[in-house]
Structure 1
Amino acid sequence: MNLRGRNKVSPEFSMSSMTDIVFLLLVFFLLTSPSITPQALDLLLPSSSGKTKTQGKVTVSISKEGEFYVNATKVEPEEMEAQILSLLEGKEKPSIILRADTGSEVGNSVLVMDIANRNDITCVLATKPN
């Protein structure tokens, strides 16, 4: 009598489905990672222990070299007020997030805060958490 089974189970494992899943995850993370960082400017922000809970309508960044960026678009200091006002036109509770590099001059930050003060705009200084 032959008691052996006719169906033999293959001990091999197919890796094709696993590589498909890993490839799809890789593509997903590559496509979503640029949208995580909205600001492409490399600024070294000052550190603080507080957290900012407000989301600004307009972001003004000041580089170490004294260049001004409004929502990642480079602007001249003379054109900055008009650019900010056009972006905040018709908004309730307009606000500016000021991202100043630690090596930038204080006078540049004061210029942005003066624009915000003249136009009754809330100005929040962005910092790096400790």
Structure 2
Amino acid sequence: MAFLRKKREAPRVDLTSMVDVVFLLLIFFMISTTFVEAPGIDVKLPESSSQVSESEVREVKVYLSQDGEISLGKEKVSQQELERRLRAYRSEAGAMTFVLLADKNALHGQVVRLMDLAKVNGFGKLAIATEYAKNP
């Protein structure tokens, strides 16, 4: 008697599970990755053949120590004396720069008070001097 033999199918690997896992990983990485967009625009500044000489750049340097001592240039002054001297610059203060060199341990209130003095007396530009940190 002849038995019917079933034809053997070649073994095959079911890839459905692997494809599901790959898609889940892809979705996970797409969602968890943050895209940081660096804001900024490309600006090309115009060139000039003339340069500003040192005599044209006018600035008033005011120093504030950790102890609250105020110096105008190299001369120590009181706050009232500083106010009086800054009033003398009022006519040309709009074109001058008020440079504030405050100690890093100076009180915040004193720094703000000096910045306010510059504004009240009409200084057009305010610069706060810092020191370049080589290793942040």
- The TM-score normalised by the length of structure 2 is 0.50
Give the equivalent residue in structure 2 for 1:22: none
1:77 to 79, 87, 92: 79
Q: Is the 8 A contact 1:56 1:97 kept in 2?
A: no
Task: Extract structure 1 runs of 4+ deviating beyond 3 A.
Answer: 87-92
Which structure has the higher relative contact order (CA within 8 Å, separation 6+)?
A: 1
Which has the higher Rg, Structure 1 or Structure 2? 2
Distance 1:90 1:120, change over 3 A: closer
Distance 1:129 1:91 in 2: 28
Which piece of structure 1 moves more, 90-99 or 118-127? 90-99
Give the equivalent residue in structure 1 for 2:119: 117
Identity of aligned residues (%): 26
- The offset of 1:120, in angstroms, is 2.3
Distance 1:100 1:108, change over 3 A: same
Gaps in structure 2 of 5+ consecutive residues:
1-56
Q: Is the 8 A contact 1:58 1:96 kept in 2?
A: yes
Partner SS for 2:95: coil
- The offset of 1:56, in angstroms, is 5.2
1:126 to 108, 114, 129: 129
Residues 93-118 of structure 1: CA distance to partner in whole angstroms, max 9, x if unpaired?
12110000011101111111101111
Give the equivalent residue in structure 1 for 2:108: 106
Residues 25-72 of structure 1: CA distance to partner in whole angstroms, max 9, x if unpaired?
xxxxxxxxxxxxxxxxxxxxxxxxxxxxxx651100000110000011
Gaps in structure 1 of 5+ consecutive residues:
1-54
Aligned residue pairs total 76
Q: Map residues 1-130 of structure 1 onto 2, 5 A cutoff.
A: 57-87=59-89, 89-90=91-92, 93-121=95-123, 122-130=125-133
